[in-house]
Amino acid sequence: MFDIAKRTALGAVILMLMPAAVWISGWLWVPGENPSVLRPLYWVTETVSEPWGILTTVILCGWFLWCLRFRLKPAIGLGVIIVAALLVGQYAKDFIKGEVREPRPYVAWLGTDHQMNVGEFYAQKSKLRGKQVKEILGDDVQIPHWLNKSWQNDTGYAFPSGHTMFAATWALLAIGLLWRRKHFKTVTVLMVWAVVVMGSRLMLGMHWPRDLLASVGISWILVTLACWLTERYVGPLTPPPAEKQEIRERD
């Protein structure tokens, strides 16, 4: 358990470096960034958004199972643990959002620059909030149309970040489950992907740096527990002797 917690904690610290640096720097989101920069970030954030997040989950689940080479029954158990960790994270995110009720950066901007009452905005149902965003930004040329539509579909509270929690959970699962099998490329790709997802949430006006930090912390707790359950009830994370030869050949 301690070895798992140590590995995943190191991964969590690495993921926290970017939002911590942004927070310390005092950087604040403002609209009007170059669309050629924002659009690729939007595509990255969409890998986590519905419905593409489901496809991402299926692909990554399949890849993890292939990397770990578990037999059918343990593979099913691992799949259940991974999906449970993702779902618990999302339910925890929804509960915390409802308790903290922190406005998103773009909503705070609408309140200051467009004289929108933020309290009344969040008192409405989701569809009415989206309609209000559309009406306010109908003629605002500094907001790209696709970002306008994204805001209309994502009018909830900010703290914590569900997108960050999803991506960070996968990245930390890679460290917890695949590091001993030396799938370093997979770990690196998922860590970079998670950081870019987090950066996209900042640049698109969806989250504050503290939202990302809290989300990574929650993900670390869930992943550490998930990896411990996997090792205890599903199968060892240390590669068996037959697989060690394959790892040496791959290296």
| Helix orientation angle between 162-178 and 209-229, rounded to the nearest 10 degrees | 40
Query: Nearest 10 degrees: CA dihedral of 40, 193, 20, 216?
Result: 130
Residues 6+ apart with CB under 8 A from 14: 191
Residues belonging to the active site: 163, 207
Q: Name the residue type at position 45.
A: T
For the beta carbon of residue 246, count every other beta carbon within 10 angstroms: 12
Query: C-alpha angle with apex 39: 213 to 14, nearest 5 degrees?
Result: 25
Say how far apart CA 194 and CA 207 lie, in whole Å. Answer: 15
The CB-side HSE value for 39 (13 A sphere, CA atoms) comes to 6
Q: Is 117 left (phi over 0), alpha (psi -120 to 50) or beta?
A: beta
What the block records as the tokens of 224 is 């550490």
What lies within 8 Å, CB to CB, of 127 at 6+ separation is none
Using CA atoms, how far apart are residues 97 and 89, in angstroms rounded to an integer?
Answer: 12
